[in-house]
Each structure stands twice: as C-alpha cells, then as structure tokens.
A and B are shown apart, each in its own frame.
Chain A
Amino acid sequence: MARMKFLCDADRCIECNACVTACKNEHEVPWGINRRRVVTINDGKPGERSISMACMHCTDAPCAAVCPVNCFYTTADAVVLHSKDLCIGCGYCFYACPFGAPQYPKVGNFGSRGKMDKCTYCAGGPEADGSKEEYEKYGANRLAEGKLPLCAEMCSTKSLLAGDGEIIAQIYKERVMKRGYGSGAWGWKTAYRETIES
C-alpha cells in the first residue's frame, strides 16, 4: 500500500486559496471550520512564501497518541482518520497537533467543543465508503473512488502535491534539480521525521 502524504512546494504556491475553497466545497465543511488553510510567511517582505497546510497525516500521529478515548485510526494508506461517534470533544488532539489541524465547531463555548473535525485526506471515516452517513460526518470519500484529495488535484500551479510519499518526493526532487532551488518540504520533518534532501 501507498504511504499517503501532502507536500506543498512553497516556491510555487501563489496563495490563491483554491485548495481551501475546494476542500470546503467538496466536503460541505461548516462555516467557521477550515480543514485547510494557506499561511503566508514574511508577508510583503523579501523571501515571502505561502504554504498550504492541513492535517499532515503524521507518522506516529500525536493526536492519536494523546486522545483519551482512542478515537483515531490509521488506514492502510497511512491516512490518519477519527471516529466522530467516539470523539468527546476534549481538545487534547488540538494541544498535541503541530499543524493546528483539529477544528471544533463550537470553539470556546463552555468547553462543549462538539466533535472534532479535520482533513480526512478525502478518505471519509469509519462508516461504509461513500455512504450518506460518512458524507454527513466527514465529507466525500474520494480515495475510495480512486481519486486523490481535491485540494491537490485542482491546485493550479501544482504546488500542493498529494499521493504516495515516495512518488511526490521524487516529483519535488526533480523540480528542485531542474529549477535549481527549493525551500524544502514544509512540515515533513515534524510530521514524518524525515525530509527531502535536495
């Protein structure tokens, strides 16, 4: 099986936020929740870079490790998913996550945060693939249809790559070799404890 990863080539990202919009639309993510966002560092200064960030589906995911009710699971494709039926909305995954991925529909409302929501790598949840229940709780299951996450699929500059880690790393390496520069695979060291040598 593949080891699915995200890779954002910051030298290509133009902060168009199409990935953010695509994600919200594909999964009908409620108002106030963003499974993906684009962060611009050094905005307006020399060396500015934009990075599209969502759940990185970490190796040995910290969210899963600290969850008091053990509601996370990792699929055969190494996608980190969770069960909203088991989630108690305690917020612990949120403290542990290095990427600010877990989202809560009712943040700040007396600690009743509601069920956690996060990027599913377009792979749904524990319900039957493509079922109505799965769509309502987690959004579309594109992976089950043989498609990659929509954010990466429709990235206009192909900055955001999704797919097997080995393959997208190879694509990125070739790019870096061809153009002669690259600011690295953002978040990889934190998420996967390895980075792409370029």
Chain B
Amino acid sequence: MVSFARFVRLAVGACALLLLIVAVPAPLGAQQVNPTASSVKEQQLLQELNRIQGRVSIPDQRSGVLEQPQGRQWREFHNVTLRWIGGIAIIGMLAVLVIFYLTRGMVRLESGRSGRTLVRFNVYERFVHWMTATCFIILAISGLNITFGRPLLLPLIGFENFSEWSLWAKYAHNYLSFPFTIGVVLILLMWIGGNIPNKVDVEWLKRGGGMIGHDHPPAYRFNAGQKAIYWIVVIGGGLVAASGYVLMFPFYTTGIEGMQLAQIVHSIVAVLFVAAMIAHIYIGTIGMEGAFEAMGTGEVDVNWAREHHSLWLDEQAARTGPNDGQPQPATAAAE
C-alpha cells in the first residue's frame, strides 16, 4: 500500500514537472518579467473604496482592514467642526438667554397668585422627569468633557487629575446612559398624548407664545414650545442613545467607518440637545414665575394655569365640575 502511494506521488510529481517545463518557456521568452504589472496598487485601491481590506490569518478578522484614511476627516470633524458647532450652540444659547433675561426679565404671573393649586404632574411623572434630567446633566458634563476638556480643563488641573476625572466621567457616561434611555422611553410613552401638534399650536406660535409675545395665547396641557421640547427630548434622546450604544458596543453593529458616523451623529445631536435643555432649564426656573412648581411640588397655581394653559384648565375644570373656584382635589386632576 505504502509503495503504491509513493509511486502515485512520484507519477504526479513527474507529470507536474513535465507540465512546468512545457508551460514556462512561453512567458519567460517574452523578455523581462514584471510581477507588479497585475499587482494590487495602494492608491488605486484607496480611490476605489477609500479603504483597503484583505485576509488575515490571525483570529481577529476585523484586523483585515489594512488602511482607511477617512479617520482624517473624522479627526477634522472632532477637533475643529464639532468644537465650533458646540461652542456656537451652547455659548450662543447662553448669550441669547442672558440678553433675554436682561431685557424681558422673569415672566410674571399677571394676575398674581390665587392661592389655589391644581396638580400638573403626579409623582410618577416627576420621578421620570428628574431621573432623566439628573442623568442628562451628568451625561452632558461628561460628554462635553470629552470634546472640550482637553483644551479648557486639562491645562488648569494637569494631566493626572484630568485623566482621573475623565475616566470616572466616562464610566458615568456609559452607565448612566441606561437610566437615561429608560427615562426617554417613559417620557415618550407618558406624555405623547398631550404632545401631538394641532391647530392651537399654530395660533400659539403666531402670537409668540408666553415668552416672546406679551399676551397669553390659549394652550392645552402642553403648548407648542413644550411640545417642541418634548420632541427634542424624544427624537434627540433616541438618536444619542442609539448612536451611543453603537459606540459602546464596538463592532456589534458596524465597523470603524460606522463608528465615526455614529460619533458624528452622537456629538452633533448632543451639543444641540444641551443647548435646547439650557433654554428649557431657563424657562423652568428663572424665566417664568410659577413654572418650577409644576415639576417641583407637582402643583401649579390656578392663575398660572389660566394664563399659560387656559384650555387645559378648562378641561380639568370640566372634569371636576363647573366650579373651579373650589380647591381642586389632587386625585381628580392627576393624569
């Protein structure tokens, strides 16, 4: 058996050798050999696909991507474009609010306080709001640190301290993304009913709302401005969460180019989100008298409701009886 196998191998070898002798002289005879004539060219491959990919024999198959120079564009975005967008959006918003506050001041309750209150947000709504808000503030600070910390904070506190702080900020950013995402989903579900745009919003916007205009256009539970905030939170929050998880779980959904794109979406949406939330915080605190109570104690003054959410007040009054002069039972108004 063994000798037969050896014979077969010998025969095959001889045939192969014979073939080689017969076949080789043809190309050799065609003068000098240029093995690179048909070889792959770096610049050509880069022009075709903007990246070069091949096969690797190590287990990490992702390392088969040899070269992808588009990281340069991403670098330009991260180091230049994003800092401009973020700087203009956030500092611009702060500047607008400061000017607005100095010219307009706090929007007062025109008819003063009635002393009677009604429930605007119940305990569950306030819990979801503040959970999301707390996460958002930490996420925003830790996120801005990644983009602006190196030029602004690092020179002040030094490499070691900045690295230590950034490491904890990164952990906070990663782990708080989960309660934040849950918060965004709950906000989407619990307030979507009152946030579908309708005709009243058109009128409200035409009259400049309660901040810019000088009268009080009617509004249901949420006016057009609040609806805008709602959709910014839902859509913006959805986008930052989705793009953030792409970055958090590398290679689960996409390669490097997808992660660059995810980072671009994540950071642009995030800085605009921060700018919008600064405005939201302004209106909810020093921008408007009586507004903070809605999320603070959950109860607002009836006069506040009449001025800012007249149609909502009517709805609540209709539900609890015609006489809104009586103190509203908290349970009935809660919704």
Name which of B62-70, B133-141, B193-201, B271-279 contacts chain A.
Answer: B62-70
For B60, give its contact among A32, A98, A112 (CB under 8 Å). Answer: A32
Contact among A15, A51, A71, A95 with B57 in the assembled complex (CB-CB below 8 Å)? A15
Q: Count the A-B residue pairs with Cβ separation under 8 angstroms: how many?
A: 176
- Residue of A11, A92, A100 touching B63 (CB-CB under 8 A): A100
CB closest residue in chain A, given B260: A95
Q: Report the minimal beta-carbon distance from B234 to chain A, rounded to whole angstroms.
A: 24
A130 at the interface (CB under 8 A from B): no
A42 and B166 within 8 A (CB): no
Cβ A92 vs Cβ B78 within 8 A: yes
Task: Kindly state the separation between the CA atoms of A8 and B21 in the bound complex, as whole angstroms.
Answer: 33
Q: With A69-B162, A94-B256, A99-B66 known to touch, is A183 a contact of B249 (CB < 8 Å)?
A: no
B300 at the interface (CB under 8 A from A): no
Taken residue by residue from 114 to 155, chain B's Cβ proximity to chain A (1 for < 8 Å, 0 otherwise) reads as: 000000000000000000000000000000011101100010
* Interfacial chain A residues near B260, Cβ < 8 Å: 95
Alpha-carbon distance A15/B56, docked complex (angstroms): 9
Q: Which residues of A contact B37 (CB under 8 A)?
A: 181
A38-B56, A98-B69 known; A69-B40 Cβ under 8 A:
no
Contact across chains for A11 and B35 when beta carbons are under 8 A apart: yes
| A141 to B252 CA separation, bound complex (whole angstroms) | 35
Are A111 and B57 closer than 8 Å at their CB atoms? no
CB of B258 to closest CB in A, whole Å: 10
Q: Which residues of B are found within 8 Å of A51, using beta-carbon distances?
A: 54, 66
Q: Select which of A39, A42, A46, A98 is within 8 A of B71 by beta carbon.
A: A98
Contact between chains at A40 and B71 (CB < 8 Å): no
Tell yes or no: B15 within 8 A of A by CB. Answer: no
Taking CB atoms, residues of chain B closer than 8 Å to A10 are: 39
Chain A residue numbers with a CB within 8 Å of B160 are 85-86
Complex CA gap A32/B62 in Å reads 12
Residues of A within 8 Å of B, CB-based: how many?
A: 59
CB atoms of A86 and B163 under 8 A apart: yes
Q: Which residue of A lies closest to B43 (CB)?
A: A189
6 further contact pairs, Cβ within 8 A, besides A47-B39, A65-B79, A96-B71: A39-B63, A48-B40, A51-B54, A68-B166, A95-B74, A113-B250
Give the B-binding residues of A (Cβ under 8 A): 10-11, 15, 17, 20, 32, 34, 37-43, 46-51, 53, 62, 65-71, 85-92, 94-100, 107-108, 110-113, 180-184, 186-187, 189-190
Listed A/B pairs (18) with beta-carbon separation below 8 Å = A37-B56, A38-B57, A39-B55, A39-B63, A39-B64, A41-B45, A70-B159, A86-B163, A91-B250, A92-B78, A92-B263, A96-B71, A98-B70, A98-B71, A108-B249, A186-B66, A187-B66, A190-B69
Query: Which residues of B are interface residues toward A (Cβ below 8 A)?
Result: 32, 34-43, 45-46, 52-60, 62-72, 74-75, 78-79, 145-147, 149-150, 154, 159-160, 162-163, 166-167, 170-171, 174, 247-252, 256, 259-260, 263
